[in-house]
Amino acid sequence: MDISYIAGLIDGDGTITLIVRRDHTCAFGYYFIPKIGVAQQEREVLDAIKECLGMGQIIYIGKGSYEWVVYNWDECRKIVSLLEGKLVVKARQLELLKEFLFLKEPYQAWTKEKFIRALEIAEELARLKKKGNVRKTIERIRAIRRFVESINYTPEIRGKKISERLKGRKFSEEARRKMSEAAKRRMKFVIRDEGGKMIGYSKELYKVLGVRLGPDGRVTCPKCGYTWRYRGRRKTATCPKCSKKILLFRPEL
Ligand SMILES: [Zn+2]
């Protein structure tokens, strides 16, 4: 087996894509997994690919089929350079994945611009896919992009007692909306105003901002995630599930 043969298999039955996964400890609450793979019924073919390239793993994907897959960032870079100029059907996919793999170094922090570009690449790769629920995947990626575009993110700043620094500050309705959205998603990042001045650290914001009370009285506990309808008139509510005291924010007051 040689690289031209492998290129043919990837071009025909292969996958070149970018997976977007949720993880609240990552930048913007998501991370990316590049994927190059070939699915086959004959495991021997896949063993030969793995042997030839010295990369990847073979997994059983059900219905008598196996898949040789590579998720590792550095290995994907190597395979992309081996495949360059050898694909016909998936030339565009290869070009897109290559752009993603060289947007930044694997352990370097994301900037907002690069993160949005990576989401655009993931969206186009999803659109080029023929199998699976493409529309649902695209809608999901677009929703993530809208959220990322709506926040101001600075990866280098970390603060522990920001809730104290925020006490007594006034916030616009817009800033409150963005921040409570971030707090709801339990993301770690710093939100800044238009002038670049720090507004707050998302994880502790609910302590100062209060948890927003929905128009029907619905409130979600920031600690356990439980949602219920609060009918009282106090400034704080107690979570029926975990007993946490929650500061409330009523937009109409
Ligand atoms: Zn709770």
pLDDT digits (tens, 9 = 90+) for 124-139: 999 998 777 899 999 9
Instruction: Please tell me the distance from the alpha carbon of residue 109 to that of residue 238, in angstroms, as a whole number.
Output: 38
What's the whole-model pTM score?
Answer: 0.65
Please indicate, yes or no, if residue 155 is contained in any of the structural domains.
no
Count of CB atoms within 10 A of residue 117's CB? 15
Show which of 122, 150, 178 is a domain's final residue.
Answer: 150
Q: How confident is the model at residue 159 (pLDDT cuts 50, 70, 90)?
A: very low
- Where b means 16+ CB within 10 Å and e means fewer, 9-44 reads bbbeebbbbbebeeeeeebbbbebebbbbbbbeeee
Between residues 190 and 1, the one the model is more confident about? 1
Distance 194 CA to ligand 1 centre (A): 33
Crossing angle of helices 91-101 and 73-83, in 10° steps, is 140
Domain extent, residue 16, equals 3-150
Q: Do 144 and 187 have their domain in common?
A: no
Quick one: which of 103, 134, 96, 113 has its CA closest to 28? 113
- Cβ-defined contacts of 232-240 (< 8 Å, 24+): 235/210
Distance 227 CA to ligand 1 centre (A): 8
Distance 24 CA to ligand 1 centre (A): 18
Q: Do 95 and 169 have their domain in common?
A: no
pLDDT 10s digits, 68-109: 999 999 999 999 999 999 999 999 999 999 999 999 887 777
**Residue 147 DSSP one-character state:** H
- Domain count along the chain: 2
Distance 241 CA to ligand 1 centre (A): 5
